[in-house]
Amino acid sequence: MKNDMSMEVLQTSPLWSDILPEDRKQLLGCLGASRAEYGKKSTIWSSGDMVPRMGMVLSGEIKILMEDLEGRQNVLANITPPDLFGEVFALAGAQSPVTVYTETGAEVLFLDVQKVTNICRDSCSFHRQFVWNLLALVARKNVTLNQKIQCVGQRTTKEKISAFLSMYQSREGKNPFTVPFNRAEMADYLCVDRSALSQVLAQMQEEGLIEYHKNEFRLTHLAMT
């Protein structure tokens, strides 16, 4: 595998942090790395497939699709360089519940999960570093999933909003603060109807619980109902 432009995105990925560029080539070998290019409208893998490798987007954009019980496919996420995908299911040895697809075309770096975990005989220090980075990454993903459940699991939209805003407020550490979502995305995250979200936000502002303008919010009553 040659180094070229598209491999430079590795540097920006937390998966490769604290790994020297000169060690990268050898490590890619340890990890059974292979690169693949996909044209427009290609399916990288389908839901139900067993996926023995994890992918990293080098260029282009990748969509994670999941079909619901009625068979409608909806987009769970858009993945751009240098994001990982499929690592959780590959590591867990589980079927992929999602389809991975590219609309625009994409270039992907695949890593063999078996080789990632079977640290090589000479146990290169950068391989250890890589596993540690991976472990931290999966753990952080776990934390964000927990936070989402904490929001979505609330009974009413008002409580969902409260949990969501409290989370972002404490994450940003200031008040007012901004959230990286527009209304539609926020409704999607909270699994509620967009217009209902607007409605409840307006109601909460009337009640003096919050103030907001676009995606800047301010909690005016720290103890919220």
Partner DNA sequence: GTTAATCCGTTGTTTTTACAACAGAAGGAG
Partner DNA sequence: CTCCTTCTGTTGTAAAAACAACGGATTAAC
* Residues near DNA, by CB under 7 A: 155-158, 160, 182-184, 191-202, 212, 214-215
Based on CB atoms, which residue is closest to a copy of itself, 40 or 141? 141
Phi and psi torsions of 47, nearest 5°: -60, 140
Q: Which of residues 92-111 bind a copy of itself (CB under 8 A)?
A: 92-94, 97
Q: Which residue, 216, 222, 144, 143, is CA-closest to 181?
A: 216
Number of residues in contact with a copy of itself under rule CB under 8 A: 47
**H/E segment holding residue 38:** strand 34-38
**Residue 27 touches a copy of itself, criterion: CB under 8 A:** no
**Residue 47 touches a copy of itself, criterion: CB under 8 A:** no
Based on CB atoms, which residue is closest to a copy of itself, 42 or 91? 91
CA distance 174 to 182: 19
Residue 224 buriedness (CB in 10 A; 0-12 / 13-18 / 19+): middle
CA distance 129 to 93: 22
40 binds, among a copy of itself, DNA, none (CB under 5 to 8 A by kind): none
Based on CB atoms, which residue is closest to a copy of itself, 20 or 131? 131
Based on CB atoms, which residue is closest to a copy of itself, 38 or 217? 217
Strand order in the sheet with 73-79: 42-45, 99-102, 62-67, 73-79
Binding interface with a copy of itself (CB under 8 A): 66, 69-70, 87-89, 91-94, 97, 117-119, 123, 128, 131-132, 134-136, 138-143, 145-150, 152-155, 159, 162-163, 166, 191-193, 223-225
